[in-house]
Amino acid sequence: MAESEAYESVLCVKPEVHVYRVPPRASNRGYRAAEWQLDQPAWSGRMRITAKGNVAYIKLEDKNSGELFAQAPVDQFPSIAVEGVTDSSRYFVIRIEDGNGRRAFIGVGFVDRGDAFDFNVALQDHFKWVKQQSELAKQAQNPDQGPKLDLGFKEGQTIKLNIANVKKKDGSSGSRLRAASSGGPSLIPPPPGGKASFGPLPGEQLLSCPAESVANLGQADASGSWPPQPPSSTTEAAADIWGDFTKASGSVSGQSQQSSGWVQF
């Protein structure tokens, strides 16, 4: 965008400023505000700083009508267009132009030091922005000249991954799972008011065996094999076990008449 087509923005406005005649500088030692007759300003009004493109304009205007008294274009800062004095921070020397090639140096003073500080900062911020825009434009025109980021591996370069924490975490969780799954069976407490009784373990069978069978445990069976062979069928085993029990219980006087199949204690 050309400078003539750029929008004009306002950077700073100060309602009260004084203008002084600046005597010719006799040497390069700098300007001194004490030499300006500060009690007799040549003009008083407001200051407005605007920016159009890269150039900033210091405009001195009438407080009521806004009529332009003088303006100083500033193309860089700090420069000869705006200079501070050596004996105060509230006074500056600016170079004004009338648009016809004529220039003059005048003194500008602020009543408050804060206004002088804002004036200085407004110019600094504008030209800092101008510098950033210039650098971005150069990078856009020559993108290959910018620094390149190389993320490739160099020769002999290795990478190390530490996954010890992951293994430890997996092992601890597995141990907790195995400990929970391998826990023994819990004992069931006896019912209230009763005595604890323990039944046969799973897979065991509780049988009542006659005394004769107990006495003959140490002897071999008729076939001569040990241990004695079980009956041929479940029915025979049941009849053999309960047969003697029936004989013993069938007689009332069974206490005097002993069955051959029972042993008296």
Determine whether 67 is exposed, middle or buried from the number of CB atoms within 10 Å of its CB (0-12, 13-18, 19+).
exposed
The reported pLDDT for the residue numbered 153 is 73
CB atoms within 10 A of CB 13: 14
Looking at residue 240, its pLDDT comes to: 55
Q: What is the pTM of this model?
A: 0.53
Q: Could you say which DSSP state residue 201 is in?
A: P
In this prediction, residue 254 carries a pLDDT of 47
**Looking at residue 139, what is its pLDDT?**
81
- Which residues lie closer than 8 Å to 98 by C-beta, 6 or more apart? 70
Count of alpha carbons within 13 angstroms of residue 108, beta-carbon side:
31
Mean pLDDT by 10 residues, the chain (265 residues): 71 96 83 92 96 95 94 92 93 92 94 94 95 87 68 77 62 53 54 53 50 48 52 53 52 48 53
Which fold would CATH assign to domain 3-141?
A: PH-domain like (2.30.29)
Residue 215: per-residue pLDDT: 47
Q: Which residues pair with 58 in a beta bridge?
A: 49, 72
Cα dist from 38 to 34, 70, 111, 163, whole Å: 7, 20, 11, 77
d(CA 45, CA 47): 7
Q: Is 46 helix (H, G, I), strand (E, B) or coil?
A: strand
